[in-house]
Amino acid sequence: MIARLSAPFRRDARPPAARLLGAILCGAGIAMGQAPWGAWWLALIGLGALAVLILAETRPVRAAWLGWAGGVGHFAAAMFWIVEPFLVDPDTYGWMAPFALVFTATGLALFWAFAGWMSALWPGRACRAMGLVLGFGLADLARSYVLTGFPWALIGHVWIDTPVAQLAAWFGPVGLSVLTVAVVILPLGARDWSMRGLVTIPSVAVLALGWSLGLWRLALPEVPRDRPIHVRLVQPDAEQHLKWRADMWRLFLDRQMALSAKPSAVALDLIVWPETAVPFLLDGAEPFFERLAGATGGVPVAVGIQREIGARFYNSLAFADGAGRVIDVYDKWHLVPFGEYVPLGDALAAFGLTAFAAQEGNGYSPGPGPRLIDLGRAGRVLPLICYEAVFPQDVRAAGDRPDWILQVTNDGWFGKIAGPYQHLAQARLRAIEQGLPLLRAANTGISAAIDGRGRVIDALPLGAIGAIDVAVPAALPPTPYSRMGDWPMGALLAFLLAALAWRRSAKVH
């Protein structure tokens, strides 16, 4: 048994170190397609080079090693910002930062190891190429759901800043990933260079068609809104290492109050403060909301705030009317594992290990789930708090279709180089998928108003202090993806996998 488990780690089961290093560099090249770089062309080159390395292997274990190495390079380069939360208080948590990056990159790379392993299960180079396409597609699909999901830096995200991203309205983010790997990898499955040239022609044509369809969708006329909705997004730029300091929190609170009180050229229907915008709990916050109502002249507000029920704490968004009365509260329900709660922490409490239990106040407890909130003149809103905007399935889970999506977030945890830009890119993709406008108020930025085709119509840059008044764009008609989600793409991948397995079985017999 021990010998069997150790077999993948024997020297002869691994490709040479030079090939593994090459795969790591290819993966890093693929990451250059992610925000803020957006070099999709470099991502395609890196993906093609990695595929060449993997397809040269006919042994599943060695192909899996190369896929894993490519994944390590990709996730280390795309998600290096994962160290930033540990550097907010470096004296206490800084030692954890390198471990967080190593564990994140090597752990997520296991999904790419699966893709490499899949490529070598089939006879013939063409089938291996198809196996690699299916492996990457299934990996991105699984990463969107397994262990609560973490669909960050999917391969298809390289298109978010291009017209190709509009295809997400039909096929979703996994569809973008499958399109990407298919147009790059399938030509590499041809027998020789002349055949590869021929197969490349339809791949380029498919990509050109997707680009053209995206341009067509972007050129469609704007849908008028029956009645304008005017919203103010407040961005205080309260850096995370200063946010809760005793000598700073009042400054940030007064800053948000002053930004909210600024005169507006039009009558506002809602003012939005970002995630955890105030340094106290919702219980007993009545004087604060009354003061805010007086400062704004009676404009309804949505404020990111924490609240306590019994021994449980919630990351919440409180909605107050023009008189300062809290009329509704949304509790974040899709929490960040190990960041906002410890998985199985409540279960461990049954054995006396209460230090990890959310029910004992150690971490947040999840809310009941996604739901719409009727804000009267401001319309029916789907609230999302930070990380929840990463999951298209969460947007669809609310059931009824909202007028618009509201995201409040504190991207001060993500640094200033890549994390906030990737989070904004994900929000843009949610808008495209659903055909819904999305407004986001971010503590340190990037606060933005996004239309139903994913275009940023107004924004406050990272690190800016200010507020923007925006007219909420109209919702587009429901998209195919908003109706069906990932089921069609999952069914297609399963069908193609079954067809590939049948072909292999037919050849064997």
Q: Tell me how far CA of residue 138 lies from CA of 157, 338, 496, in angstroms.
A: 15, 25, 11
Residue tagged active-site, from 84, 275, 340, 433: 275
Per-position b or e across 220-248, b if 16+ CB within 10 A of its CB: eeeeebeeebbbbbbbbbbebeebeeeee
DSSP string, 242-263: HHT-TTTHHHHHHHHHHHHHS-
Query: Of residues 57, 84, 332, 340, which has the active-site annotation?
Result: 332
Residues 173 and 144: beta-carbon distance below 8 Å? yes
Tell me the three state secondary structure of residue 409.
strand
Residues with Cβ within 8 Å of 123's Cβ and at least 6 positions away in sequence, in order, are 504, 507
Virtual CA dihedral for 456, 457, 458, 459, nearest 10 degrees?
A: 0
Burial of 480 (C-beta count, 10 Å sphere; 0-12/13-18/19+): middle
Q: What are phi and psi of 366, to 5 degrees?
A: -80, 145
For residue 286, indicate whether it is catalytic: no
380-418 as b/e: b if 16+ CB within 10 A: ebbbbbbbbbbbbebbbebeebbbbbbbbbbbbbbbbeb
Token readout for 80 is 């290096």
| The two three-digit tokens of residue 31, written as one number | 């990451």
Does the annotation count 127 as an active-site position? no
Q: Does 26 participate in catalysis according to the annotation?
A: no
Closest CA to 280 of 255, 310, 246, 311: 246
Alpha helix (H) residue ranges in 329-418: 345-349, 392-396
Q: Give yes or no for a contact between 23 and 53, defined as CB atoms under 8 angstroms apart.
A: yes
Beta pairing, strands 301-309 & 270-272: parallel
Q: Under 8 Å CB-to-CB from 203, ≥6 apart: which residues?
A: 182, 183, 184, 186, 187
Strand 466-471, strand 230-235: pairing: antiparallel
Selected catalytic residue, list 26, 84, 243, 386: 386
Per the rule left: phi > 0, alpha: psi between -120 and 50, beta: everything else, 87 is: alpha
Give the residue numbers annotated as catalytic, written as ranges.
Answer: 275, 332, 386
